[in-house]
Amino acid sequence: MVNPVFLIIVPLGFAFSIPLFSLISRKIVKFIPPLSMLFNFIVSIGLMPVVLNKPVVISLGGFPPPFCISLFVGPVGILFSALIALVGFLVSIYGINYIKDGDRYHILYLLLLTGATGVVLTGDIFNLFVFYEILCISSYALVSYLGEKPAVESSVKYLIQGSIGSSFVLIGIALLYGKFGTLNMADIAKNINSVSQMYLFLPLILFITGFGIEAAIFPLNAWLPDAHSSAPSTISAILSGIAIKIGLYGIARIIFTIFGISSILYFLLLLGLLTLLIGELSAFSQKNIKRMLAYSSIGQMGLILFAISLATLHSIEGGLFQIITHAFSKSLLFLAAGCMIYKTGTMEISSFEGIGREMPLTSLGFTIGAFSLIGLPPFMGFGSKFLIISSILEKGGALFVLFAGIVLLGTVIEGAYFFKIIQVLYFKKRKSEESVKLQKVPVSALIPMFILVILIITIGIYPGIVSGILKGASSELLNKVQYINNALGR
Amino acid sequence: MDFLFNNIYYIGSFGLIFIGLFILMTKHNLIKMIIGLNIMDTGINLLFITIGYVRKATAPIFSKPDLNPQNMVDPVVQALILTAIVIGLAVLAMGLSLSIRIYQFYGTLDIRKIKEQKW
């Protein structure tokens, strides 16, 4: 068993040693992010059986748990860290030839992934904030990486909204520390019932608002379409696939583990449905392909929030499964869209007419990603959406049937706009008079898309591959007492 | 009056946080908004320090033999604030460098006039 600390140390160390490597040779720099992400993925997969048996708790500094900075590597943490490493690995392979210049890109990219991994593995609430800020600051920088007009503007918007969010999280942490005198999440969770509910209300709202900005929950999602559509395609894939999930992880951890409050869940349920409908409806009317995908991410976030706040074993399982589906499918979609944009030089959907004949593999990848996100049977999205719908119906009652109907309505809208693009790709004739910039898409861009397609189909046919870790993760989120006992070493 | 005396630091820190939020909500100049963010950050830092503060206490260094734990302030919050200040600085630097870019592109810092991206 490798110590889980290396999951954080290795990418962080590599990130800051990239300038040194670039002194030796400028060629090897771009192979460092795939290398360290591959390491992370292998370590996470290797840790999975150990963690499913019993969560691993690492106390840094040698003090016993409540006093030290601890890492809590439970099923949720290892699920997320494997997902981050896998998506990070594939997208960084894509980036080898996509990103032409600069060590800065690779440093920031690795820092973003380090921050995401740190957030999901830490057991200390202040460390969670620090890693969260590493993630946020590097994504502000990466959004504006190309330095174009729209990118800089959306980066500033993202920066201001994101820093208000993380300030709220910090105020929440201050209030909790003032009340409990500890930063260990399990220790706070143990004592949370000893103070009145009135006092907990303010920190809870601050946390939900703060993480909600990163997770793009409905009234707080103004930054997302701009930032995701004007970033480089690799970064859009990472932001949509991973960064916004971290906000949801924060919300889930705060509500289920630390506060253990169930009365706010109905509020989040409604917010999730609103986010779903608004995201999908806005996506429907977009003309810019990346903007459409960004709005579709908002809709998916709403669905996942809805599933998680139903708070039954099956629904959380479905929500986490949907997180995996969305991470794979949306990064595949963004990568494929990146290839098309690279080829045609524009983001307008209408200019992709007939591109299915010129770029058969890329279009096939896009189609499979879209089908998986809609939830068509042989692909991965079917399993996750099926789990979510069946868990809603398990709850019973007219209200939940209505909710299931709204979720299905969202899916129908989603299907409508994705089929619109697929129709443009395959069934429209290309206007011949337009001169197309014929740029060859490099092979290194096709490999990660191919692997993602294989993953989507394989997990779609055998959902059993992930069901073990999903069950463990959802029971970790719901079983607060077990978490406390494991984290404090009893 | 007694309430004010006991809670003056809390009132001050929340005052700073709300001033920062107010600036962020009402001002349209990018530099002013970044200043607002920083005022808010300062307020949060002060809030942390206030939580660990004990009246007439000293730093937790065992320099004098008769120093007992009741007369020490909480050192944890100070370590936390050191980190939070660095993070705030990074956000500040990022924000200011982006505003320079915005000014080069648009010739203005008024956020209402920068409307390339629309909903």
- DSSP track, B69-100: GGGB--HHHHHHHHHHHHHHHHHHHHHHHHHH
- The angle formed by the CA atoms of residues B60, B61 and B65, to the nearest 5 degrees, is 110
Q: Do A130 and B98 touch (CB under 8 A)?
A: no
- The angle formed by the CA atoms of residues A119, A123 and A128, to the nearest 5 degrees, is 35
- The angle formed by the CA atoms of residues A132, A220 and A158, to the nearest 5 degrees, is 55
Name every chain B residue with its beta carbon within 8 A of the beta carbon of A115.
none
Q: Do A156 and B48 touch (CB under 8 A)?
A: no
Taking CA atoms, A383 is separated from A94, A299, A377, in Å, by 27, 18, 8
Q: pLDDT tens digits, residue range A244-253?
A: 999 999 999 9
What whole-number distance in Å separates Cα of residue B24 and Cα of residue A206?
A: 17
Q: How many Å is the maximal CA-CA distance in chain A?
A: 74
Segment among A421-425, B3-7, B43-47, B65-69 with least mean pLDDT: B65-69
Contacts of A244 (CB under 8 A, 6+ apart): A214, A215, A216, A224, A297, A301
CB A335 within 8 A of CB A365: yes
Q: Do A171 and B44 touch (CB under 8 A)?
A: yes
Give me the mean pLDDT over the A198-203 stretch: 89
Crossing angle of helices A464-478 and A32-53, rounded to 10°? 70
Domain assignment present for residue B14? The answer is yes
Q: Which two tokens stand for residue A95?
A: 């980036």
Segment among A33-37, A111-115, B58-62 with least mean pLDDT: B58-62
pLDDT band at A352 (very low <50, low <70, confident <90, very high): confident
- The angle formed by the CA atoms of residues A58, A59 and A61, to the nearest 5 degrees, is 140
Q: How remote is the C-alpha of A160 from its chain's centroid?
A: 21
Domain assignment present for residue B60? The answer is no
Report the predicted TM-score, pTM, of the whole model to 2 decimal places: 0.93
What's the total number of domains in chain B? 1
Q: Which two tokens stand for residue A364?
A: 């096939």
Q: Which two tokens stand for residue A108?
A: 């920031």
Q: pLDDT tens digits, residue range B32-91?
A: 999 999 999 999 999 999 988 888 888 877 777 777 777 888 888 888 999 999 999 999
**What amino acid is encoded at A312 in this protein?**
T
Interface of A with B (CB under 8 A): 126, 130, 133, 137, 140-141, 144, 147, 149-150, 152-157, 159-160, 163-164, 167, 170-171, 174, 177-178, 183, 222, 225-226, 229-230, 282
Closest by CA to A150, choosing from B114, B28, B113, is B114
Q: pLDDT tens digits, residue range A362-395?
A: 889 999 999 999 988 889 989 899 999 999 998 8
Domain assignment present for residue B34? The answer is yes
Whether the CB of B12 is below 8 Å from some CB of chain A: the reply is: no
Q: Which residue carries 């990568």 as its tokens?
A: A335
- State which residues form the domain around B45: 2-55+69-117
Q: Which two tokens stand for residue A299?
A: 């809709």
Q: If residue A69 lies in a helix (H) or strand (E), which one and from where to where? A: strand A69-73
Whether the CB of B101 is below 8 Å from some CB of chain A: the reply is: yes
- Over the range A135-174, which residues count as b (16 or more CB within 10 Å of their CB) and which as e? bbbbbbbbbbbeeebbbbbbbbbbbbbbbbbbbbbbbbbb
Which chain B residue shows the shortest CA-CA distance from A178? B51
Cα-flanking dihedrals φ and ψ of residue A432, to 5°?
-75, -30
Closest by CA to A420, choosing from A325, A236, A286, is A286
Tell me: pLDDT of A325 over 90: yes
What whole-number distance in Å separates Cα of residue A294 and Cα of residue A282?
A: 10
Domain assignment present for residue B106? The answer is yes
Return the pLDDT at B1. Answer: 75
Select the residue from A122, A132, A148, A164 to test the B interface by mutation, using most B Cβ atoms within 10 A. Answer: A164
Which chain A residue shows the shortest CA-CA distance from B14? A171
- CATH number of the structural domain spanning residue B107: 1.10.287.3510
Domain assignment present for residue B62? The answer is no
Return the pLDDT at A85. Answer: 93
Closest by CA to A123, choosing from A168, A173, A166, A65, is A65
Contacts of A474 (CB under 8 A, 6+ apart): A313, A314, A316, A317, A320
Q: Do A147 and B101 touch (CB under 8 A)?
A: yes
Tell me: pLDDT of A450 over 80: yes
Q: Which two tokens stand for residue B49?
A: 């320090």
Q: Which two tokens stand for residue A301?
A: 């976030």
Percent share of chain A, pLDDT over 70: 98
The ipTM (two decimal places) reads 0.94
Q: Which two tokens stand for residue A266?
A: 């109905």
Strand partners, A322: none
Whether the CB of B41 is below 8 Å from some CB of chain A: the reply is: yes
Domain assignment present for residue B9? The answer is yes
Whether the CB of B91 is below 8 Å from some CB of chain A: the reply is: yes
